[in-house]
């Protein structure tokens, strides 16, 4: 049981509209979203700051950053939801799913630009900054807008990981589980 019980339908109109917009048809709103709905202000601010729309990074690049961030922070809940909803869409194979969770950033299953994104996540999670070598590699593959989006994604999903773990959210039944290391 999570530390704060998720809200049940019917939801306030603004929350109901947002849940309908973001959830696939026929899929119950995520426990995370229903829990955030207990505080409409936090719910609205989190969704206002969401980064799941079309951005400067490709969908695959975005998912590499999100999945590696949530895995590095031990957030199986969010990692599993993203793998369940997006892994096939971005073409992750079994080796990449395992590597994004537990692998080295230079694993051969990743292209050079993808390895650089993984290294940026590691720098931000471990050192709360990006070291010069990683920055130079990022700048060799990505423009300023893409680098800013990468940093913002890591920060946003750091917050999401804190919420999921601190609330002790139960895993969604359809979500992926961390592979064995």
The pLDDT value given to residue 51: 65
The pLDDT value given to residue 180: 86
Residue that has been written with the tokens 């505080």 in this structure: 39
93 and 73 share one domain: yes
Closest of 152, 172, 162 to residue 23, by C-alpha: 172
Range of the domain at 44: 13-48
The one-digit pLDDT tens for each residue of the chain (181 residues) are 899 999 999 999 999 999 998 888 899 999 999 999 999 999 998 887 676 677 899 999 999 999 999 999 999 999 999 999 999 999 999 999 999 999 999 999 999 999 999 999 999 999 999 999 999 999 999 999 999 999 999 999 999 999 999 999 999 999 999 998 7
Evaluate whether 121 touches 154 at the Cβ level (below 8 Å).
Answer: yes
What is the count of structural domains for the chain? Answer: 2
SS3 call for 66:
helix
37 and 92 share one domain: no
Evaluate whether 87 touches 37 at the Cβ level (below 8 Å).
Answer: no
42 and 87 share one domain: no
- CATH number, domain of 87, equals 1.20.1290.10
The pLDDT value given to residue 33: 95
The pLDDT value given to residue 90: 97
The pLDDT value given to residue 38: 95
The pLDDT value given to residue 54: 78
96 and 137 share one domain: yes
The answer to the question of residue 178 being in a domain is no
The model's pTM: 0.94
């Amino acid at each position: 049981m999570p530390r704060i019980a998720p809200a049940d339908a019917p939801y306030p109109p603004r929350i109901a509209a947002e849940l309908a917009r973001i959830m696939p048809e026929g899929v119950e709103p995520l426990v995370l979203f229903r829990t955030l709905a207990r505080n409409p202000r936090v719910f609205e601010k989190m969704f206002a700051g969401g980064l799941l729309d079309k951005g400067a990074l490709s969908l695959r690049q975005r998912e590499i950053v999100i999945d590696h961030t949530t895995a590095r922070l031990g957030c199986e809940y969010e990692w599993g939801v993203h793998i369940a909803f997006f892994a096939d869409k971005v073409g992750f194979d079994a080796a990449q799913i395992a590597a994004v969770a537990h692998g080295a950033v230079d694993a051969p299953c990743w292209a050079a630009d993808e390895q650089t994104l993984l290294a940026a996540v590691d720098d931000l999670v471990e050192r709360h900054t990006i070291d010069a070598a990683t920055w130079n590699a990022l700048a060799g593959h990505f423009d300023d807008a893409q680098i800013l989006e990468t940093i913002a994604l890591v920060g946003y999903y750091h917050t999401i990981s804190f919420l999921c773990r601190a609330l002790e959210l139960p895993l969604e039944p359809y979500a992926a589980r961390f592979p064995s290391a």
